[in-house]
A = this chain, B = another copy of it.
Amino acid sequence: MTAVVALSGGIGGAKLALGLDRELAPGALTVVANPGDDFEHLGLTICPDVDTLVYTLAELANPELGWGRRGETWTFMEVLERLGGETWFRLGDGDLAMHVERTRRLAAGEGLAAITAGLASRLGIASRILPATEQRLRTIVETTDGALAFQHYFVRLRCAPVVTGFRFEGAERARAAPGVVEAIDGADAIVVCPSNPFISIDPILAVDDVRAALERRRAPLVVVSPVIGGDAVKGPTAKMFRELGLESSVGEVARHYAGLVDGLVIDEADAALAAELAVPTLVTRTLMRDLDDRRRLARETLDFARSLSGR
């Protein structure tokens, strides 16, 4: 395949994005990142999913934490705590360089897509990582405790409140970031990474012209299920399905993407459910423990997409 677009949130999605990055020719992959987690904190613009993708593809990601950089130091946080600053969102010393440099360039008038491309390129990444939009789009989690800004729900309250819905503040004014629509229009395959549908992929789909480009696509769109055996590998995906009154299952994942999905990749644990699904399905091992798993799943997903486009 000469051009592939992946839609991705953070950790889980980034694993498959790394596999795709390694399996494809340099520059063939464009990863469109979830902008809904972005927020302003301590005067800095922080883009957690973009950064997880950058760190993962640069092989700088922290394998123990699952977020941030490997070999990180924490002096900034220690001193900030001593100074009485806000420390609920952990920022490593090296990670901070990303946020400070991005914030500086934004203030100087550069766009987020160009800044992200520049930073990724400095770190030796051949794939393109693009925020879905350069405008402010913020995920608001509606809960039985009220509406919560995403990072407050996710980090501060550790996903404890019961979810009743989601809003994407600013989505109505958001336009696709430069390069996103062109990448989708020119793609041979579109892969939705195994990310949370509600808080990682829906914010991308909430950008009108991104959604429109996906709807008029000529390439097959393949979703890799984030649900394995009724649960998620990490994070609140399964909990959210249940709190919304839905089953946490590959069937619900397929229904979530109804109208967009051309093929679903599910785990062997869910093989028995494949027959009930209304879309073509690839059954394989979707749990990615190491780089070999990531590359194999990427390869199989691309082959599956190729088989669908041949129809």
Contact = CB atoms under 8 A, between A and B. Distances in A.
A43 B103 contact: yes
Given A43-B43, A84-B118, A118-B84, A79 B94 contact: yes
B75 A101 contact: no
A83 interface: yes
A119 interface: yes
Interface in A65-111: 69, 72-73, 75-80, 82-85, 92-98, 100-101, 103-104, 107
A102 to B, nearest CB: 9
A216 interface: no
Contacts of A69: 79
26 contacts: A42-B101, A43-B100, A43-B104, A43-B107, A72-B75, A73-B75, A75-B75, A75-B92, A75-B93, A75-B94, A76-B94, A76-B97, A76-B100, A78-B94, A79-B95, A79-B97, A79-B98, A80-B97, A82-B123, A83-B101, A83-B119, A83-B123, A84-B101, A85-B97, A85-B101, A93-B93
A122 interface: yes
A271 to B, nearest CB: 44
Interface string A270-308: 000000000000000000000000000000000000000
Nearest to A81: B97
A96 B84 contact: no
A107 B43 CA distance: 8
Nearest to A95: B79
A100 B75 contact: no
Interface string A122-144: 11000000000000000000000
A123 B82 CA distance: 7
Residue from A83, A96, A103 having most chain B Cβ neighbours under 10 A? A83
Contacts of A101: 42, 80, 83-85
Contacts of A83: 97-98, 101, 119, 122-123
Given A76-B94, A79-B94, A83-B98, 14 more contacts: A42-B101, A43-B43, A43-B104, A72-B75, A75-B92, A76-B76, A76-B96, A76-B97, A79-B96, A80-B100, A80-B101, A84-B101, A84-B122, A85-B100
